[in-house]
Amino acid sequence: MEYQIRGTVLQVVDFQLQAGESVYTEKGGMSWMSPNINMETNTKGGLMKGLGRMIGGESMFMTTYTCASGTGMISFSSEFPGKIVPMQLKQGESIMCQRDSFMVAENGVELSSEFQKKLGKALFGGEGFVLQRITGPGNVFLEVAGEITEYTLNRGQILKIDPGHIAFFEPTVKYDIVSVSGVKNLIFGGEGMFLATLEGPGRIWLQSMPISSLAQKIMPYVMKR
């Protein structure tokens, strides 16, 4: 399988598939394709896995695109301004992602949802309530809102983050939700009641523009229509 990522702000990933090669995405994720690409929509793994993905921000049904003969072309477009990040996962290797980060992957990649242990805090933490676990083997393509910043945390090193800015991180990184201290900070700080903490060791990827923040900025203009 060959691919190319094009564009700057609203990127597109183009795939060249040989006969028998497949990729899958959430329902409605495909942009355009050649006529020798066949599509099949199902729950991919059964009803329970489909429900779990839906809770994690993806559609219950997934669509698999397979090249029937020769060389096929299929493209997928970003849903929001940002970057498409390719990752190659080995057998059993996983990455933890925010909701709606998954874009498209090879057929061998598994997508599942993972709930946070501290349910009460997670509910107030917004984006941090449910995470997606993506497990190899294979190539997966993730969507990041805005620009991306990567850090490598040493063992015990902690970074406090607005939950919406977390894009994805390695499973070795410990994720938690903590309360913002101080009454003035809670009322006037504008950061909400909770922050996320990521504790190393491991790599983390942060996004500069949470979708929730973008929605808040454009909402006044939508309401004026």
Task: Please name each of the domains of the chain with its CATH number.
Answer: 2-220 (3.60.160.10)
Out of 22-31, 51-60, 77-86, 105-114, the most confident range is: 77-86
Q: What is the pLDDT of residue 114?
A: 76
Q: In what order do the strands lie in the sheet with 37-42?
A: 37-42, 62-67, 22-26, 102-106, 138-145, 82-89
Q: Taking residues 97-120, report their average pLDDT.
A: 80
Q: Taking residues 158-170, report their average pLDDT.
A: 92
* pLDDT higher at 91 or 62: 91
Q: How confident is the model at residue 131 (pLDDT cuts 50, 70, 90)?
A: confident
* pLDDT higher at 21 or 111: 21
Q: What is the pLDDT of residue 47?
A: 62
* pLDDT higher at 108 or 42: 108
Q: What is the pLDDT of residue 220?
A: 77
Q: What is the pLDDT of residue 100?
A: 78
- The answer, yes or no, to whether residue 164 has pLDDT greater than 60, is yes
Residue 216's contacts (CB-CB under 8 Å, 6 or more residues apart) are none
